[in-house]
Structure 1
Amino acid sequence: MDMLVVGGGYVGLAMAVAVKQAAPHMAVEVVEAAPADVWQKDPRASAIIEAAIQMFSVFGLWDEISAEAQPINKMIVTDSKTGDPVRPVFLTFGNDGGKSDGDADADAGEARPFAHMIPNSVMVGALLKACERIGVTIRNGVKATAFKAGPVSAEVTLSDGTTLAPRLVIACDGVKSALRDMAGIKTVNWSYGQSGIVTTVEHELPHDGVAEEHFLPSGPFAILPLKNNRASLVWTERSEDADRLVEADDLVFEDELERRFGHKLGSLKVVGPRRAFPLGLTLARAFVAPRIALCGDAAHGIHPISGQGLNLGFKDVAALAETVVEADRLGLDIGSVEVLERYQTWRRFDTFRMGVTTDVLNRLFSNDIAPVRLVRDIGLGLVDRVPKLKDYFIAQAAGKPNADSPKLLAGRAL
């Protein structure tokens, strides 16, 4: 086997598709501990930036996915207390092709949303079909229990007793990656004492593709538009409060939800399961070791305040796939540290920068200290009023490619 991907979620499947599509001769397998249909039953949705959408277009999957995708046409950012009757808007991002309102070059005729909301079940379903079409083998219901790097290949033992010998192993098994630990890669991590409550609501009035992020004393409350007058919520609370809310009866939960959501979209109804996920920062000290590379949450777990967690994983996929495919074409050993170092160099700074940014933003906005509130509101207002600064943040949010970007993120095949 050439490449074994451990973890069959969105990042793992995208990694397998990216390499197998560009190098059909390579033997690529995916191992996933969960049963075959678990990921397809995921009720959540994710905000996918324009750069990642370009990658799905190269895979030939965007036409299928886009039918269920909701464009985010506008982003509104507010900063207030939970009980404030009015929430002043300090920052807006519009659907104007990645340009700020003050940029005369913005061409409304070529406007593209900087992100789309995509149901996770739709995304993983499309990736699974692609795997079947191009010949990626998927083993469900088994997990990797041992890893050992060798001079020519790795040795990976599975829970069913099978031993595999891939030239390269990709760890896509999440923020608590067992494979990362087996490879001896250490992490830097801490908890925020917060949890993210995730659920889906149905509302009475149309959202017009507008997403909102309200910075509240306990953490950000994000309203992300979905099709059919629905919205996906990422609601940050202190962990003990989040647990209490998730376990509360519907009346209590919806009452607390309305206090934060407001009434601008009419009456609300919770239509999805509610779950709470503990939030923290985890950064791997290294992204690669002999015969193994970390990808997605196995390499980095960040706060959802910027909505970039999964998108960072897709950026990893684009960079790692390009590294592996080009090394294979040159006849190099795809599992050697010398080859994998290119991927690590490519991705570590961007990941570190995003981890620090989300950490600082969360600490800055998840409090109700008056002087801090004044400083951050002035900062948001400044960004909103300085076109070049605003353009920069929009470009970062959309993952706008530059000269050093991986090909897939610019819509180019490997």
Structure 2
Amino acid sequence: MNPSRHEIGIVGGGLAGASAALAFARAGFDTVHVAAPASADGRSTALIGPSVRFLERLDVLAALDGRAQPMFAMRIVDDTGRLLRAATVEFRAAEIDLPYFGLNVLNRDLLDVVRAEGDRLPGRLRRIEETVAAVELDADHATLVTDAGRTVACRLLIGSDGRRSVVREAMGAPARSWSYPQVALVLNFEHQREHEGVSTEFHTASGPFTQVPLPGRRSSLVWVETPEEAARLKDLPLDRLSDEVERRMHSILGSVSVEAPVQSFPLSGASVMRLAGQRCALVGEAAHVFPPIGAQGLNLGLRDAEALLACAEAHRDDPGGAAMLADFEARRRADVATRTAAVDLLNRSLLTGFLPVQALRAVGLGALAALPVLRHALMREGVEPGSAVAGMMARARALLPGQRASG
């Protein structure tokens, strides 16, 4: 069977892959998206900063039609019960002149909209709902074969096929993985009181317990626990689990009613030594795996897709060529590395009983509560990665001899 030929091929049916397929097709690239139908996903994602703007340019946000909840404030509460406890810190988007930090949306709603927008581009986006069985890479093309025997060739192959990526395996890219002694329960719930667009993260001795607002009197919850406690909680009837959620939240939203299903995920992380190879690049969980902490996973994957598209547009004469892929690697490496280290450090700092680490954490959160300048810098870095470093560099340049006079 002769292969179908395209400029861009994307493997993986999750949100990062579907968004990348829509973005490349919207930009005028002949795109094929190869993925088995995605399984139902009851989780939500807090879209932050660049992710919001990226999806806005793709007309995805307008199509969500009230299914996304703005997050106006985020609160961190030390609920570890340890000797050295940190001050409660509240971040408000209005402090840095933003209407909101981001939007929380159910993954299934977001995927439905992304795919519907792609359906509007039948001449530029082709979908093949089959599983990729093999990938071959050479200097001119990447070729993939599906489990149904279909062959597809493309100039740039994008692997967005998860932590067991077939594309990454074909690249021969070494991956370093690790696990945590924790399991995340993920669920949605209704509650008695208005959340007012506030997300509250309770830091506990077993990990974060994070409520994120959804439209109406509903919220999503990521609850990190020991494997034994997570198993016990997941087996509870929904009414008893609802009581546990209300108790752990100190009833700040009143009585709650947990919705089925309750999902659980062992916490792990992974990083890949290279993000690009011969005629291919990795985005999303094919490139980096995060525990569900700090809203980094999909946001980082969408930044991968946006950067890869920018590089392809800058090298339209040869998308997938060595120069384009080197540009992508350079653009994404620092962001991925720093976010990986930050999430890992936050999670491990909660697990340790070592007093000096507890003291450092308490002092750090206390400084954020007391010093608006520091708090504002962290907020800007959260919604605009790299902005804190850029701001420090700008202030440093302003202090150099001759700079103030020339301004």
TM-score, scaled relative to structure 2: 0.88
Q: Which residue of 2 aligns with 1:288?
A: 276
CA positional deviation for 1:266: 1.2
Distance 2:303 2:49 in 1: 11
Number of residue pairs matched by the alignment: 382
Residues 373-384 of structure 1: matches in 2 within 5 Å? 373-384=358-369
Q: Which residue of 1 aligns with 2:113?
A: 126
Q: Deviations over 1:289-347 (max 9, x none)?
A: 0011000111011222211111011110110011112211xx1x222233211111100
Residues 63-82 of structure 1: matches in 2 within 5 Å? 63-65=62-64, 67-81=66-80
Distance 1:349 1:394 in 2: 19
Aligned 8 A contact 1:154 1:166 in 2: yes
Distance 1:403 1:138 in 2: 40
Distance 1:50 1:5, change over 3 A: same
Distance 1:151 1:219, change over 3 A: same
Q: Which residue of 2 aligns with 1:115?
A: 102
Q: Is 1:31 the counterpart of 2:48 in the alignment? A: no
CA positional deviation for 1:388: 2.4
Aligned 8 A contact 2:86 2:362 in 1: no
Q: Deviations over 1:78-122 (max 9, x none)?
A: 1123799xx9752111021x62xxxxxx4xxxx410111112122
Residues 173-322 of structure 1: matches in 2 within 5 Å? 173-322=161-310
Aligned 8 A contact 1:220 1:366 in 2: no
Determine which of 27, 45, 49 is the counterpart of 1:22.
Answer: 27
Distance 1:154 1:54 in 2: 31
Say which SS state the counterpart of residue 76 (structure 2) adopts. Answer: strand
Q: Which residue of 2 aligns with 1:148?
A: 136
Determine which of 329, 347, 356 is the counterpart of 2:332.
Answer: 347
Distance 1:66 1:352 in 2: 35
Structure 1 residues not aligned, in runs of 5+: 100-105, 406-414
Say which SS state the counterpart of residue 2 (structure 1) adopts. Answer: strand
Larger deviation, residues 62-71 vs 208-217: 62-71
Aligned 8 A contact 1:19 1:325 in 2: no
Distance 2:206 2:226 in 1: 6
Q: Identity across aligned pairs (percent)?
A: 30
Letter aligned with residue 20 of structure 1: A
Distance 2:188 2:298 in 1: 18
Aligned 8 A contact 2:135 2:166 in 1: no
Distance 1:404 1:220 in 2: 27
Residues 350-389 of structure 1: matches in 2 within 5 Å? 350-389=335-374
Q: Which residue of 2 aligns with 1:394?
A: 379
Determine which of 128, 132, 135 is the counterpart of 1:139.
Answer: 128
Letter aligned with residue 61 of structure 2: W
Distance 1:365 1:66 in 2: 38
CA positional deviation for 1:7: 0.7
Letter aligned with residue 90 of structure 1: T
Say which SS state the counterpart of residue 297 (structure 1) adopts. Answer: helix
CA positional deviation for 1:218: 0.4
Distance 2:234 2:251 in 1: 22
Distance 1:396 1:404, change over 3 A: closer
Distance 1:377 1:88 in 2: 4
Aligned 8 A contact 1:180 1:294 in 2: yes
Q: Deviations over 1:257-291 (max 9, x none)?
A: 23312212111111131011111120011000001
Aligned 8 A contact 2:178 2:268 in 1: yes
Q: Deviations over 1:118-141 (max 9, x none)?
A: 12122111111111112311122x
Aligned 8 A contact 1:202 1:231 in 2: yes
Structure 2 residues not aligned, in runs of 5+: 1-5, 391-407
Aligned 8 A contact 1:292 1:335 in 2: yes
Q: Displaced runs of 4+ in structure 1, greater than 4 A?
A: 368-371, 400-405
Distance 2:249 2:99 in 1: 27
Say which SS state the counterpart of residue 134 (structure 2) adopts. Answer: strand
CA positional deviation for 1:252: 4.5
Say which SS state the counterpart of residue 319 (structure 1) adopts. Answer: helix
CA positional deviation for 1:368: 4.5
Distance 1:52 1:229 in 2: 25
Letter aligned with residue 22 of structure 1: A
CA positional deviation for 1:402: 5.7
Say which SS state the counterpart of residue 167 (structure 1) adopts. Answer: strand
Aligned 8 A contact 1:183 1:289 in 2: yes
Distance 1:341 1:129 in 2: 33
Distance 1:323 1:66 in 2: 31
CA positional deviation for 1:74: 0.8
Distance 1:404 1:211 in 2: 26
Larger deviation, residues 65-74 vs 283-292: 65-74
